[in-house]
């Protein structure tokens, strides 16, 4: 009887685990709520109109079509019965011999869930399209706005969190405002937009070497963005944020806050911890042993953003390369066990870190090398492209990149999925109504107050 390996999550960890078990004598089931693998490191490009969702997403069934030992199941794992080694998906139970949990993380508002509406995060395709809609709509609203104070608020963009996502978002929004939208408006000059990056620690990219942080900050400033370090966000509303430093609090009028600050364990992570009584860290990540298994459950692996494992005294960061290596490692442990062999503990090989800031500017640390500027950007482009899963995605992204680079264009800057528009269209509402315009405005902007 072949062993059954169940993998939850088709992100980097889950997909690499599945592919590494290609030739193993096991049956595999890969469960994901979505039907695609998402290349999350480029999600900020979707949020800022540079790429389309399908450019960075590949259908899981397509990727695994020819791997005969794997079955893909679109669904949500809702319950774990670790004692009987079974998992509830939809209406049925699935038995497993090995379970790989790679459900990742979601964004987190540090107990302020009420900020979610005014300050969307960036984890899913839908998040990215929401951000895109918010950013682009603010320029549209500013063009229609006559009050200069309100117009200023509409043209102020606050990015919370100075990690790679926050830095890349700030750079891309600055590019959009200063270059891409040039000549697009008649009443406003988009180049006057203010882009404010707020970071709680003393430097951006705090997980990178300090000199790269300094380079990133300089690149952002060159693009016209303002960086506030040692600064906390105290309050987020539809028309302003309150930021605090040692010397006091400041109210920043803004109608567009992008959240890139905190992550917490995915929902299934909580279920898993509760079901087996696993210990979690402050972000909900689950402490795993050296073989990425749960204490007392050698058959359950946790990989990727959901796993808490330390190396040289530091927890490994929630990055794609860590997830890929962990997924492949879990697969290796399973292959070895089936042959009665043991496996040395997981060791992350750090090939480097990078972040891109606007057009042809990036920072990178590759082994002993620390790059900035154009060279880092080319390295970044190259590494991201070879990691994009499907061939066609790569060519398409490369093409759009080349085009965007030459023209400073962002061709995917279309505002879609405006809920009100959709409703009106499908519901066939009566044609004439006095308050139509006002409602259309306030709802489509999802912004009250001065916006």
In angstroms, what is the minimal distance from the CB of 113 to its own copies?
Answer: 5
What is the token pair recorded at 272?
A: 């898993």
In angstroms, what is the minimal distance from the CB of 343 to its own copies?
Answer: 29
- Binding range to its own copies, per CB under 8 A, among 1-9, 58-66, 149-157, 346-354: 58-66
In angstroms, what is the minimal distance from the CB of 163 to its own copies?
Answer: 20
What is the token pair recorded at 420?
A: 């009100």
**HSE, side-chain direction, 13 A CA sphere, residue 232:** 10
What are the percentages of helix, strand and coil residues in the chain, rounded to 5? 40, 25, 35
> Of the candidates 12, 16, 36, 346, which one interacts with its own copies according to CB under 8 A?
36
Which run of H or E residues covers position 243?
strand 240-245
Binding mask 104-123 for its own copies (x = CB under 8 A): --x------x--xx-----x
In angstroms, what is the minimal distance from the CB of 24 to its own copies?
Answer: 17
Q: For residues 56 and 220, which CB has a smaller minimum distance to its own copies in the complex?
A: 56
**Active-site residue among 145, 168, 175, 199?**
168
The SS3 assignment for 125 reads: helix
> Of the candidates 33, 86, 218, 297, which one interacts with its own copies according to CB under 8 A?
33
In angstroms, what is the minimal distance from the CB of 364 to its own copies?
Answer: 27
Site for its own copies in 357-396 (CB under 8 A): 390-393, 395-396
| Partners of 431 in beta bridges | none
CA-CA distance, 101 to 32, in Å (whole number)?
11
**HSE, side-chain direction, 13 A CA sphere, residue 290:** 6
Bridging pattern class, strands 240-245 and 232-236: antiparallel
In angstroms, what is the minimal distance from the CB of 210 to its own copies?
Answer: 35
Q: With contact defined as beta carbons under 8 Å apart, do 212 and 205 qualify?
A: yes
Binding mask 158-187 for its own copies (x = CB under 8 A): -----------------------xxxxxx-
> Of the candidates 353, 400, 446, 447, which one interacts with its own copies according to CB under 8 A?
400
Site for its own copies in 125-144 (CB under 8 A): 125-127, 129, 136, 140, 143-144
Is residue 168 part of the annotated active site? The answer reads yes
DSSP-assigned states of every residue in 331-393: HHHHHHHHTT---PPP------EEEE-STT-EEEEETTEEEEHHHHHHHHHHHHHHHSSSHHH
Bridging pattern class, strands 156-160 and 262-265: unpaired
Instruction: Answer left, alpha or beta for residue 352, where phi above 0 means left and psi between -120 and 50 means alpha.
Output: left
Q: For residues 104 and 304, which CB has a smaller minimum distance to its own copies in the complex?
A: 104
Bridging pattern class, strands 256-259 and 156-160: parallel
Asked if residue 262 binds its own copies (CB under 8 A), the reply is: no
List, in sequence order, the alpha helices (H) in 176-288: 210-222, 267-276
Asked if residue 449 binds its own copies (CB under 8 A), the reply is: no
The size of the interface with its own copies (CB under 8 A), counted in residues, is 84
Asked if residue 249 binds its own copies (CB under 8 A), the reply is: no
Site for its own copies in 216-245 (CB under 8 A): none
> Of the candidates 218, 348, 352, 403, which one interacts with its own copies according to CB under 8 A?
403
The SS3 assignment for 158 reads: strand
Site for its own copies in 300-359 (CB under 8 A): none
**HSE, side-chain direction, 13 A CA sphere, residue 65:** 6
Site for its own copies in 61-100 (CB under 8 A): 61-62, 65-66, 71-76, 78-79, 88-91
In angstroms, what is the minimal distance from the CB of 2 to its own copies?
Answer: 15
CA-CA distance, 391 to 1, in Å (whole number)?
36
> Of the candidates 40, 45, 58, 103, which one interacts with its own copies according to CB under 8 A?
58
Q: Which residues are catalytic?
A: 168
């Amino acid at each position: 009887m072949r062993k059954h390996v169940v993998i939850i999550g088709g992100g980097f960890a889950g997909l690499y685990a599945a592919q590494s078990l290609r030739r193993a004598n096991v049956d595999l089931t890969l469960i994901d709520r979505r039907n695609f693998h998402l290349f999350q490191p480029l999600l900020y490009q979707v949020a800022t109109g540079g790429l389309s969702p399908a450019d960075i997403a590949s259908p899981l069934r397509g990727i695994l079509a020819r791997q005969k030992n794997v079955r893909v199941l679109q669904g949500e794992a809702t319950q774990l019965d670790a004692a009987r080694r079974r998992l509830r998906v939809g209406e049925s139970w699935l038995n497993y011999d090995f379970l790989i949990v790679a459900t990742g993380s979601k964004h987190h508002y540090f107990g302020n869930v009420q900020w979610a509406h005014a300050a969307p995060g960036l984890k899913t395709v839908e998040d990215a399209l929401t951000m895109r809609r918010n950013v682009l709509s603010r320029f549209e609203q500013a063009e229609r706005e006559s009050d200069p104070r309100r117009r200023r608020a509409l043209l102020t963009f606050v990015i919370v969190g100075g990690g790679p996502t926050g830095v890349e978002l700030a750079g891309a929004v600055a590019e959009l405002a200063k270059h891409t939208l040039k000549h697009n408006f008649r009443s406003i000059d988009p180049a006057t937009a203010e882009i404010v990056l707020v970071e709680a620690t003393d430097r951006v990219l705090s997980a990178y070497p300090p000199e790269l942080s300094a380079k990133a900050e300089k690149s952002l400033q060159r693009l016209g963005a303002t960086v506030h370090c040692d600064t906390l966000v105290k309050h987020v509303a539809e028309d302003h944020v309150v930021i605090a430093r040692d010397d006091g609090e400041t109210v920043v009028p803004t109608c567009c806050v992008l959240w890139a600050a905190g992550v917490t364990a995915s929902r299934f992570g909580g279920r898993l911890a509760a079901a087996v009584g696993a210990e979690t860290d402050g972000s909900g990540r689950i402490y795993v042993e050296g073989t990425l298994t749960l204490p007392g459950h050698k058959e359950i692996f946790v990989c990727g953003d959901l796993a808490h494992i330390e190396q040289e005294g530091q927890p490994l960061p929630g990055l794609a390369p860590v997830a890929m290596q962990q997924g492949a490692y879990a697969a290796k442990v399973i292959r070895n066990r089936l042959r009665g062999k043991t496996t040395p503990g997981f060791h992350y090989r750090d090939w480097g870190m990078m972040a891109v800031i606007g057009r042809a500017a990036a920072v990178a640390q590759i082994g002993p090398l620390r790059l900035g500027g154009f060279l880092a950007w080319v390295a970044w482009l190259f590494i991201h492209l070879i990691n994009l899963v499907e061939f066609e995605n790569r060519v398409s992204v490369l093409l759009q990149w080349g085009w965007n680079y030459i023209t400073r264009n962002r061709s995917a800057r279309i505002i879609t999925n405006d809920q009100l528009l959709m409703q009106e269209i499908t519901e066939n509402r009566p044609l004439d109504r006095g308050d139509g315009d006002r409602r259309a405005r306030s709802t489509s902007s999802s912004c009250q107050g001065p916006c």
